[in-house]
Amino acid sequence: MTGIGLGLAFLVCAALGWEACAVVAAGIVARLAATPRWRSVLVPAIGIGAAAVFGAWRGEPPRVVVPAAWVDHAEWLSGEVGEIPAATGRSQRFVLQVTSFSAEGEQWTSLLEPATVCVTAPRYPEVDHGDTVRLSGRLHSIVDEPAAIRAFLRSRGCTASVFPYSLAVQQRGTGIRHLASRIGRRLTASAVGAAPGDPG
């Protein structure tokens, strides 16, 4: 049954996109809430959720990434978290839809259209989909990266990457994706804490 669930989650989300992925996430949460021994189905639930996310990601058309000139001198960025972040150990990865930037000693400049930047930040403060954040750090343009990293950034639609040394949440997001992001983070933390031999 788990295999069928994995396959269906992948195919449905690949065909219908992120909205279907959010529905799958809501179904997983409802199933866990209705199961007294929810830990017994936690691992399959996480697997199905991961298959749904992977399917939605693979179902997206190839992205055209245009290098941005302002990346070379921007030091501060402000924008909205554009996806459900992925937490890995002491760091978290997410894409930021940048709406404005600033160089040292200069006023903020608003962008006519949001630009996507891939962010690898410290684990805290934790961010979720839809949060408005402000960060500072040295940006690396997609044109200056090795081929493998360029391919990764292009797959995410990112014009640049950044490892910020300062990150602050300006406003928390709302909506179903924000809720799914928070629930997913808590389920992941519970799974890590329940893993045998893991100090959590």
Residue 52 lies in a domain: yes
Is 116 in the same domain as 168? yes
Is 123 in the same domain as 43? no
Task: Over range 92-112, report the average pLDDT.
Answer: 91
pLDDT of residue 199: 47
Residue 199 lies in a domain: no
Instruction: Pick from 12-16, 56-60, 110-114, 176-180 the range whose average pLDDT is largest.
Output: 110-114
The predicted-structure confidence for 123-166, as pLDDT tens digits, reads as follows 899 999 899 999 999 999 999 999 889 888 988 889 999 999 99
Q: What is the CA radius of gyration of the chain?
A: 18
**At residue 49, what are phi and psi to the nearest 5 degrees?**
-60, -40
pLDDT of residue 140: 94
Residue 140 lies in a domain: yes
- Written as one string, the DSSP assignment of 162-195 is E--SEEEEEE---SHHHHHHHHHHHHHHHHHHHS
Q: Identify the domain boundary among 20, 41, 61.
A: 61
| Residues spanned by the domain of 17 | 2-61
Check if the beta carbon of residue 28 is closer than 8 Å to that of residue 48: yes
Q: Residue 143 to residues 73, 147, 153, 159: CA-CA distances in angstroms?
A: 15, 9, 10, 8
The more confident residue out of 143 and 45 is: 143
Q: List the single range of 47-56, 101-110, 174-183 with lowest mean pLDDT.
A: 47-56
Residue for token pair 């408005």 = 132
Q: Residue 176 to residues 19, 54, 173: CA-CA distances in angstroms?
A: 9, 19, 10
What is the CATH classification number for the domain harbouring 88? 2.40.50.140
- Count CB atoms within 10 A of the CB of residue 4: 9
Per-residue pLDDT band at 200 (split at 50, 70, 90):
very low
How much of the chain, in percent, has pLDDT values that exceed 90? 33
pTM above 0.85, yes or no: no
The more confident residue out of 191 and 78 is: 78
